[in-house]
Amino acid sequence: MPLPLLRDLFKRLDPQNPVASAGARPYPAARPQSGSKAPAVTPTMLDINGRPVALEVRVSPRARRMLLRVDHKREVVVLTLPRAASQREGLRFALGQTAWIAARLAALPPRTSLAPGAVVPILGMEHLVRHRPDARGTVWLEEGEIHVAGGIEFLPRRLSDYLRRRARQEIAARVAVHAAHVTKPVKGITVRDTASRWGSCSPTGGLSFSWRLVLAPAAVLDYVVAHEVAHLAHFDHSPHFWGLVGEMIDDVEGPRRWLRDHGAALHRFG
Ligand SMILES: [Zn+2]
């Protein structure tokens, strides 16, 4: 599937979810015992093989049927309801899909913390993370390793900042190259941590990308950048659009397949 456009991104990034926060019906098994000292339980929790998994309910005017997905990054279940469906119907639907949810959770790639000893890819090349408490500087690459100076407590943040900075540099450089193929100017580049969209293009020419693309092979990052820049000329996924992407990069299908097969794994870092 082609990458969705900005309207999807904005909709998904909306931090307020009035439906879920307005008190979705609690799943009976997760309701705290009255009088117990147990901490408050999230309003809606699913019991997946004995493991509590949060269920987020969203109402979408564009949804035509109930949709369930597992958010790979946060390990929560997201239920999207059309306006016509009730919370109760949605919950019943979700409860009927626990085997599917369990299988999706079990299939998640392993999680990698940004910590010493971790192996983190940069443009697809694996790098071992090394802590250099006594060294000067902040973060640098050395013989296939990422060296991080300073206190151990700052390491995850320093490494994360470095990766985002590097992502911005790589993306900006590729945008500059591909922008030569279109007449509409780029109005700005945003790099953020998106949950399910690798990139987007706004009608006014603003481009947005996931910093996690810097973890992927260079050809994959290049494809996503070409895709979004091509939207400056064609705000659709027409044959003209794909023709332009094909003029910008040699291989379109390879990176698309890579994202389909391995994209979820990029969300398991940090
Ligand atoms: Zn697109």
Q: Tell me the pLDDT tens digit for each residue of 48-84.
A: 988 899 999 999 999 999 999 998 878 899 999 999 9
Question: Which of 106, 132, 147 corresponds to the end of one domain?
Answer: 106
Does any domain span residue 72? yes
Residues 86 and 178 in one domain: no
pLDDT at 137 over 60: yes
pLDDT, average across residues 159-178: 98
3-state secondary structure of 263: helix
Domain that holds residue 166: 160-264
Does any domain span residue 254? yes
Residues 164 and 256 in one domain: yes
Does any domain span residue 251? yes
| Å from CA of 131 to ligand 1 middle | 39
pLDDT at 160 (0 to 100): 97
Does any domain span residue 122? no
| Å from CA of 29 to ligand 1 middle | 42
pLDDT, average across residues 218-246: 98
Residue 25: phi and psi, rounded to 5, are -60, 125
| Å from CA of 164 to ligand 1 middle | 22
| Å from CA of 122 to ligand 1 middle | 24
The CATH number given to whatever domain includes residue 251 is 3.30.2010.10
Does any domain span residue 149? no
| Å from CA of 142 to ligand 1 middle | 36
Does any domain span residue 144? no
| Å from CA of 102 to ligand 1 middle | 31
- Percent of the chain predicted with pLDDT > 90: 74
| Å from CA of 124 to ligand 1 middle | 23
| Å from CA of 172 to ligand 1 middle | 18
Q: Which of 68, 73, 72 is nearest to 98 (CA)?
A: 68
| Å from CA of 3 to ligand 1 middle | 4
| Å from CA of 4 to ligand 1 middle | 5
pLDDT at 31 (0 to 100): 36
| Å from CA of 51 to ligand 1 middle | 37
Digit-coded pLDDT (tens) for 183-218 = 999 999 999 998 779 999 999 999 999 999 999 999
Does any domain span residue 253? yes
Hey, which bits of 61-97 come out as E strands? 67-71, 76-82
pLDDT, average across residues 227-231: 98
Place of tokens 């481009």: 207
| Å from CA of 161 to ligand 1 middle | 27
Residues 76 and 165 in one domain: no
| Å from CA of 33 to ligand 1 middle | 49
Question: Which of 60, 90, 106 corresponds to the end of one domain?
Answer: 106
pLDDT confidence tier of residue 91, bands split at 50, 70 and 90: very high
pLDDT at 44 (0 to 100): 85
pLDDT at 236 over 90: yes
- Give the count of domains, the chain: 2
Does any domain span residue 246? yes
pLDDT at 43 (0 to 100): 61
| Å from CA of 238 to ligand 1 middle | 10
Question: Which of 88, 106, 124 corresponds to the end of one domain?
Answer: 106
pLDDT confidence tier of residue 27, bands split at 50, 70 and 90: very low
Rounded-to-integer distance, Cα 66 and Cα 90, Å: 7
Residues 94 and 175 in one domain: no
pLDDT at 37 over 50: no
| Å from CA of 213 to ligand 1 middle | 16
| Å from CA of 76 to ligand 1 middle | 26
Residue 77 backbone class (left: φ over 0; alpha: ψ -120 to 50; beta: rest):
beta
